[in-house]
Amino acid sequence: MEKGIIRSVALLCSLGGLGLAWAVGVFAAIPLRDGRLFSMSNTEMQVIGISFVTCLLVAWGSVHLLSIADKIENPRAYRIMRAGYGLVLAVACAVGAMWSMARVVSL
């Protein structure tokens, strides 16, 4: 029962991390497309930076919660889930970037 609760909380945290990774992709896509990733305004840097740091913290928290439930009993499954979650975070970031590129017109 206790492991089920921990896994449920880890799932909720990981879903939040995916949403934040999507937001990073959304906010970083346009400066990247326009070739001004290193010359963004302070506001753009804050939005992307806060989304990125928060995404990393939430992802770390969800992986940490998952390790409490599964790392000792089944380390191989834990490693596979951790790698899979990292891959899904990257895909969420890419999907957010594609969504932003499809809806924002360049000036």
- CA atoms of 62 and 6, how far apart (whole Å): 10
What is the structure's pLDDT at 107? 58
- CA atoms of 84 and 82, how far apart (whole Å): 5
- Give the total number of structural domains in the chain: 1
Distances (CA, A) of 20 to 24, 79, 85, 89, 97: 6, 22, 13, 9, 12
Residue 36 lies in a domain: yes
What is the structure's pLDDT at 100? 92
Residue 64 lies in a domain: yes
Residue 79 lies in a domain: yes
- CA atoms of 13 and 7, how far apart (whole Å): 10
Count of positions (residues) in the chain: 107
Residue 107 lies in a domain: no
Residue 37 lies in a domain: yes
106 three-state secondary structure: coil
pLDDT tens per residue, the chain (107 residues)?
Answer: 788 898 899 999 999 999 999 999 999 998 888 888 888 899 999 999 999 999 999 999 999 988 888 888 888 888 898 999 999 999 999 999 999 999 886 65
Residue 80 lies in a domain: yes
DSSP string, 16-49: HHHHHHHHHHHHHHHHHHTT-GGG--HHHHHHHH
What is the structure's pLDDT at 49? 94
Residue 34 lies in a domain: yes
Backbone angles phi, psi at 106, to 5 degrees: -80, 140
Q: Can you give the residue range of the structural domain that contains 90? A: 2-102
